[in-house]
Structure 1
């Protein structure tokens, strides 16, 4: 399967989606892995988690356009990074899709989620009353997912643990369309960062994506 969707944000930043239709063996053959990574893959060699890990790495290779080994690691906060290539990266996955965002200059964050009714039951756990107040009943489920993906993208872009979706990330009011931008503020302790976050409904999935600031 080729890249299903690709969007360029600027000359240095883009994201893409990969629909995972291959078997794990087919994805595995497209990768170069070291011994530690091979052991990790063998450890998760069942189910969607296996396919998601492989799918995001295959997509990363396609976006970086390289046949060389990619040393992709995770820092102490769980944020992925490249050891020897000059890119910031963010990875996400949900059911049949993998998502990757890259940038040469800025930290990035991306999240993809399949849209399901269950989000309504947990909305009050990640949105403040002032945020719930602007949710439109006509597109309630989609807008709630947009809010979740926006906050997840900001969280991944900032790349630090102990950030609360409810208490530390505030979304400014917005009207839902199938693709748009929202303003979100990360405010925690001495940190106060304004983000402009994009969101996109793709089939029955919602994607949130953000390019961070140079000072992060």
Structure 2
């Protein structure tokens, strides 16, 4: 099994799966009823990568709960469990999928592979009053954390505004892992969120802690 990371705390849990197994091995890790339904679903994806992502999410969810759960989607495309036993958030990047679950309230998670694209689009999501810091003298990591955190909050919020410049990260110095605050200006509440993060060798991971 390729369970890469797992964390449980205060009603929230998340995990990361490294996609290494072929499809047939992934299918064998599911309970029989879910295996049969998944085999029927897979042909609707033309991309092998999308098949791997879709199936890995289901395998990861089962490995986290050891219960068979069905993931369905709202009209806005947000995932939820058919039995409403947990709130769920899903993310994927090259080689990995991530799932977060909460028994308390909506949850958000995002995983982003290391890459330079964030430099080219930084004006779309970095505010003039935000100060991005480097990690190990590499600004890319800082930019990835800002992008990932705003994706995470977007997933956490109900009826969220897609303009990431309406989310502001409090200044922080990136470490291997930690937390920081994110203020949203998309609603009248202007809620303050706490976001947890980790920096791994080839990706960053962020998730909501409230």
Instruction: Using structure 2 for the length normalisation, give the TM-score.
Output: 0.89
Structure 1 residue 30: Cα displacement: 3.2
**2:94 — aligned with what?**
95
Shift of 1:146: 0.7
Cα shift readout 1:25-70 (whole Å, capped 9, x = no counterpart): 22233340676x655421114321111111111101111111x3x2
- Alignment of structure 1 residues 181-200 onto 2, 5 Å: 181-200=179-198
Which runs of 5 or more residues in structure 2 are unaligned? none
Taking the aligned partners of 2:17 and 2:171, their CA distance within structure 1 comes to 31
Distance 2:170 2:29 in 1: 42
In 1, Cα distance between equivalents of 2:187 and 2:108: 21
Check 1:107–1:30 CA distance in 2 against 1; reply closer, same or farther (3 A cut).
Answer: same
1:4 and 2:4 matched: yes
Cα RMSD over matched residues?
2.0
Call closer, same or farther: CA 1:146–1:62 in 2, change over 3 Å.
same
- The CA deviation string for residues 75-100 of structure 1, in whole angstroms up to 9 with x for no partner, is 12221111214111111111111111
Task: Count residues in correspondence.
Answer: 206
**Is 2:88–2:107's contact at 8 Å kept on the other side of the alignment?**
yes
Q: Which runs of 5+ in 1 are unaligned?
A: none
Kept in 2, the 8 Å contact 1:139–1:176? The answer is no
Give deviations 1:109-142, integer Å, cap 9, x for gaps: 00001111221111111111221x3434823110
